[in-house]
Structure 1
């Protein structure tokens, strides 16, 4: 999942201005007490200044300092156009820090649109440090449009930034090579619009557009000439559509498609092409090619291309090295078209449907038959009358793949505007199928809300919670309903107005509450699923029991907790969060008593689009003995456990003394792949299939606990953690049994 900082930087990039030709990377040129060309963004209590007393070079440095309790992050930003070529871009510069705590300091660099990004968070720069040079190097590529960079402070303290430099392939920026445009980029005929309109979307016409979308996507991923990057396949759609629309019958329609294919050139016999593997977990679904609804000539031509398809490198698709999830390359987001015209909206549905059809490893697990979704969404995309409707229909289609990783992560400005900028200082959660207050974000504001922990909200502005959930369900992508409710709850008390009228039950006593709302930056500690933790990640609950949360664990913590927990009888590992560090093996080897398989994967294919094969998984556990000598390891999970958290729970489950307790997890495991759509929309998918060694799926199912324990309204009201109580009970049972045997 993306971090708050990463998401905010992504949204910010749409608004920043290009810098001047003369770059002010050392802050030396001031205008109205602000360094020329520099802007700031971020949330929280911070002050940005330009210091003349503490510098690394020249007379001025940039500085960011926390000034209050609301410490999220603040960044200095500078933008330059990517009007040069090159393979690698490097940002170098100097940082000085003072008392940085509960966060980190760093330089940051982003190549836009969504090409590469680094904010140095993983380097964990904190505390007090004198001037030191740091570097970030990222891939550049010909698709880059702008470069944005600067310094960032997350948490408390102060940083100084100075003497920044950008180099391209090791040379100063003024010596960077010219940008080389490939054949696809040179084709600019439809940069200003598709010139496509649609009039009568009757059943036959939609059926024709459905066929065109299938042929367009099939050729995109199978035809060797398109794979070579010789054709702007987006724009070829707009070239064929006018003739295609004029076809009076299916014979004329198919003739247009045949002529279109012929113009791409002859396809040579493929000696390397293999049949679909008999062991394939998923096979390409190409039944439509042999359908009686298309002519034999068209069917034969498509089948020939399938048999002699592209092999190896492909302009539009590759598989990530070592991981194996798809990388959708050279896709133009057309970000300057906030509301794309009808042709580009049709392109959007074609692009997304085919990406899912050929490269989504969990297509077989969707509630809807994905094969029918193309015909369903063609008229919805075409008829979207404005930017909001376009975003909403895209979000609905994304939701239909039933993947918690999938959402509109960018380009959803109108949806966010519709949901509102006012938030409640109250955290709510669905417990026992009811919307329950379980925390407050600000203790001072808490006194004025009229709400208490354990209150059940039954109506918002006169509408029942059940009715609101029914309305919101289609627009909250998730693998399962508990996770969808998790995400819906975040927006339940959100509005375009600054207050809500609530009906509340407090210990079954009904009451009315007017709840004031605020911009979320107005109160500290705002979080989506769980509060920020600043204390050490592990502790002893008693002499016999250790506790560790993965929410803020560090690599250094692992050796320390091994020493501290060596004489305990049980360990509780809390993964009701997103792990701050990747620990399935470092911690899993310590917890697991034997070396064993815990996962296997399915992976798609560039050479046979639509085919998914199993590939080797991973083992966990020490080969000789085990480090932890206690009797019980308890893992806590719930709907907050997602992706890396679920993968980690799988690794820990391999231990023969491990028990997982809790409730349904998010059901979205596996590395993610990014997708961009016209209008600057960005989304993701779970890019590989993740299964247990026996083949049982984790997608949508999540990590099924050995002992199901869910919080109750009574428990929330009393301030109890019922999962922790159950974990302690299970460990203490083991301890008591052992002591009895010894006696």
Structure 2
């Protein structure tokens, strides 16, 4: 279903955008995504095969299971093992046997695929036990079971990879996934993975059982959001996200906020008066935030007395937004003796903040609570009532929901708004009126006719963040295709840079005037409303890449004018993927383009190919590095350009203990420190770049810029860097975004500025018509002097 080389997880700042650029917006990408199965046999088995691992002798590969090619090539293998603690004693072992220790981006995987027909329309439970080998305290690598429903038309149904609850223990630990199988499911893919460079793990017997029929969800249709309803939901958005992220009660910490968001919409939207709203909010949040109080006018109620057994104060401490996965971002509750809150600079637990809400309601929302010696927060409350049918366990992720349902859509807007309201690090740069965007998105979501329409609402909402790492993807959307045309935006119109396959007859340098009758200018303006970009370069890159995107195999009618002014028309087929298109770069990835002048395309060259070319590079008169995309190799090429150590830009992770962006401090640890490497490249050096260079590419170019290692030729880069931090929403949506603030070496702004060329060059219509690469020509000229 997915190409495995497009599903990797990277954790160095800027080191994850390449895969997200290729995937997000096209297929659902989660913080950790299991590798896709190898091509299935014509007939899949009807149930898990060899789930007890009894078929084979100890030390032999477990029959009916396999390690996908990408994991095998890294050095992972599986074998049958034995452990007396397990029923039947047998288990499987997934182990790394390669030479070089795997990196954070590497992971092993043991899996199988089965026929979905017996499970269609059912709620299922996948169970096993997992344990790790010896843990590396400096780099704890979890083990996670995963389960995916593959539907008709290469669409994905339910998916869970235990990313929010990974196993990090050397003792046997139960693991389970509960989910729903769609009526059009074709296959069920399941397995266990070792992400983030894990070395070995054991998998106990694996079972898959049917729990019952999938509950029927009756979706509420579109309906206008009244002015009073808008105020009510505005109040809910503030309270829900403050309680979720800053009220440190045990109840709030373990709550299912995805479910509560849509239930909260139903609970409060219809409140007719401020008093009714206050009562509904009080009733809804009482089980989650015992200290919260809601009122209309007057003085705040007297705070409840501190329980006699309270000995600790507790609050949330967020290093970015932590989501319980193995990421650099972490959210933890911290505890201190109850007498020390003042010396630590915490808010007085007995004097919480009062917040003015929309709808004429005030709220008292504590951000510091008290706890007993066992670290249980006080006072204790009754559990939240579960709305599911009795006896039917709820799914472990993405509870049974659809964005065809109005309350789900409104809840999603509230959840997404809260993430950025409290954790987005660039509001001081982009100046977005985020409360206004909440109002706009809620009104739109209330009227969206279905999940597809709502996808566009989420895209328009997040486009205002001006963050090049923002991508909105939906699990059931198709993987779009484009004609085999490489485009570039020049003076507000898409221009043909390269033409291949069925579109190879179209003249280079032609300006596309319309698509299926829609003027190109109008089409670009419509697209801009749904693309999040910090700068013009990334916006134009996205526009050019996606301008002709649509359903695979469909035809698209173009009108154009050539560089010499001749009009033309053509009908072309969407039969290519834009991230695979060549865009006019030299056919060679690395080679001598002129006597003594070498060229390397860092977007295509591997570490091994670089090492092979290094002796020639060291002796070359000049070297041109092409960094107009995303480097495929690590930053070692920079270490051959210097005689002194290099340091990367400033990667600042926000330390957050208060709502609404207040009181942030910054953790600046983790910068790269790169020592010089031999041999030194002695000749003149130039780097080519442009608006398609983002994230990790900018980390590399930022070092070139700061240390003046070479001329930078081309156009400004995207102006977006820092680790992405994707989150998921009910209905099958994933939104990626930048979770940290990156500053240039001198402390100045990078976001929206990017790396500026020292030798600016832009492609021209005439140059493209002649088949020229004017940026490359300038780079070659520079190093040939």
User: Scaled by the length of structure 2, what TM-score is found?
Assistant: 0.64
Query: Does 2:523 align with 1:468?
Result: yes
User: How many equivalent residue pairs?
Assistant: 587
Within 5 Å, which residues of 2 pair with 1:612-627? 613-616=666-669, 618-622=671-675, 627=679
Q: Secondary structure, in 3 states, of the residue corresponding to 1:2? A: helix
Match of 2:78 in 1: none
Secondary structure of 1:263's match? Answer: coil
Q: Does 1:410 align with 2:465?
A: no
Residue in 2 that maps onto 1:724: 776
Q: Which runs of 5+ in 1 are unaligned?
A: 29-35, 43-74, 91-107, 118-138, 152-167, 180-185, 278-283, 315-329, 734-743
Alpha-carbon shift at residue 638 of structure 1 (Å) = 0.9
Q: Is residue 84 of structure 1 aligned with residue 84 of structure 2?
A: no
Residue in structure 2 matched with residue 594 of structure 1 by the alignment: 644
Deviation at 1:354, TM superposition (A): 0.6
Q: 1:658 to 1:626 in 2, by over 3 A?
A: farther
Greater relative contact order, per chain length (Cα 8 Å cut-off, separation 6+): 2
d(CA) in 1 for partners of 2:398, 2:451:
14
CA distance in 1, matches of 2:395, 2:735: 13
Does the CA contact (< 8 Å) of 1:602 and 1:612 recur in 2?
A: no
1:148 match: 190
Comparing 593-602 and 380-389, the one that deviates more: 593-602
Q: Separation in 1 of the partners of 2:19 and 2:288?
A: 40
Alignment partner of 1:23 is 2:49: yes
User: Structure 1 pair 335/592, CA: closer, same or farther in 2 (3 Å)?
Assistant: farther
CA root-mean-square deviation = 4.9
Q: Which of 634, 638, 642 is residue 582 of structure 1 equivalent to?
A: 634
Report matched runs for 1:24-39 at 5 Å.
none
Counterpart contact for 2:652–2:666, Cα < 8 Å: yes
2:231 aligned counterpart, secondary structure: helix
Name the counterpart of 1:182: none
Distance in 1 (CA, whole Å) between partners of 2:450 and 2:618 is: 62
Verify the 8 A CA contact 1:589 1:620 in the aligned structure 2. Answer: no
* Residue of structure 2 in register with 1:652 after alignment: 704
* Distance of 2:318 and 2:550 partners within structure 1: 52
Tell whether 2:756 aligns with 1:701.
no
- The residue that corresponds to 1:638 in the other structure is 690
Q: 1:294 to 1:601 in 2, by over 3 A?
A: farther
Q: 1:662-696: per-residue Cα shift (whole Å, max 9, x none)?
A: 11222221221122112111221122221112222
Give the Cα–Cα distance (whole angstroms) in 1 for the partners of residues 582 and 423 of structure 2. 30
Q: Say which of 87, 101, 115 aligns to 2:161.
A: 115
In structure 2, how many angstroms separate the alpha carbons of the residues matched to 1:595 and 1:342? 56
Q: Indicate conservation of the 8 Å contact 2:714/2:761, yes or no.
A: yes
Aligned pairs for 1:470-509 (under 5 A) are 470-494=525-549, 498-509=554-565
- Say which SS state the counterpart of residue 488 (structure 1) adopts: helix
Aligned in 2, Cα 1:338/1:476: closer, same or farther, shift over 3 Å? Answer: same
In 2, are the aligned partners of 1:410 and 1:681 still within 8 Å (CA)?
Answer: yes
Which blocks of at least 5 consecutive residues in structure 2 are unaligned? 1-17, 56-62, 70-109, 116-123, 134-143, 149-158, 164-172, 180-187, 194-199, 292-305, 320-345, 347-351, 377-393
Structure 1 pair 612–337 and aligned structure 2 pair: CA distance change class (3 A): same
Aligned residue runs from structure 1 range 526-565, under 5 A: 527-528=580-581, 530=583, 535=588, 537-565=589-617
Greater percentage in helix = 1
Matched residue SS, 1:566: helix
1:170 maps to 2:202:
yes
Query: How far apart, in 2, do the equivalents of 1:534 and 1:725 lie?
Result: 15
Query: Structure 1 residue 599: deviation in Å?
Result: 0.8
3-state SS in 2 of match to 1:565: helix
Work out whether residues 648 and 699 of structure 2, in 8 Å CA contact, stay in contact via their aligned partners in 1. no
User: After superposition, what is the alpha-carbon deviation per residue over 1:132-182, rounded to whole angstroms, capped at 9, x for unaligned?
Assistant: xxxxxxx9954575643699xxxxxxxxxxxxxxxx9624424x7999xxx
Q: What is residue 65 of structure 1 aligned with on the other side?
A: none
- The answer to whether the Cα contact below 8 Å between 2:488 and 2:497 also exists between their aligned partners in 1 is yes
SS at the partner of 1:641?
coil
CA displacement 1:350-391 (0-9 Å, x = unmatched): 110111112222233335311322122112112211232122
Structure 1 position 661 matched with structure 2 position 713: yes
2:275 counterpart residue number: 251
Q: Give the SS at the match of 1:390.
A: helix
Structure-2 change in CA distance of 1:643 and 1:115 (3 Å): farther
- Describe the SS at the equivalent of 2:649: strand
Instruction: Say if 1:147 and 1:109 are closer, same or farther in 2 by CA, change over 3 A.
Output: farther
- State the TM-score, normalized to the length of structure 1: 0.67
Equivalent in the alignment of 1:223 = 247
Q: Residue 533 of structure 1: CA displacement? A: 8.7
Q: Determine if contact 1:594/1:626 at 8 Å carries over to the other structure.
A: no
SS at match of 1:84: strand
Confirm or deny: 8 A CA contact 1:424 1:515 kept in the other structure. no
Distance 1:226 1:395, change over 3 A: farther
Partners of 2:766 and 2:503 in 1: how far apart? Answer: 20
Residue in 1 aligned with 2:379? none
Residue 664 of structure 1 contacts residue 704 of structure 1 at CA under 8 Å; is this kept in 2? yes
Could you tell me which residue of structure 2 aligns to residue 51 of structure 1?
none
Conserved? CA contact 1:406–1:683, under 8 Å: yes
> What is the CA-CA distance between 1:642 and the residue it aligns to?
1.8
Contact 2:65 2:111 in 1 (8 A): yes
1:312-370: CA deviation from partner (whole Å, max 9, x where unpaired):
x99xxxxxxxxxxxxxxx99763764434222112101110111112222233335311
Cα distance change on mapping 1:728 and 1:144 into 2, 3 Å: farther
Of 508, 511, 517 in structure 1, the residue corresponding to residue 567 of structure 2 is 511
Helix, strand or coil for the counterpart of 2:403? coil
**Paired residues of 2:398 and 2:731 also in contact (CA < 8 A):** yes
**Relative to 1, partners in 2 of residues 1:528 and 1:410: Cα closer, same or farther, differing over 3 Å?**
farther
Aligned counterparts of 1:332 and 1:171: Cα–Cα separation in 2: 20
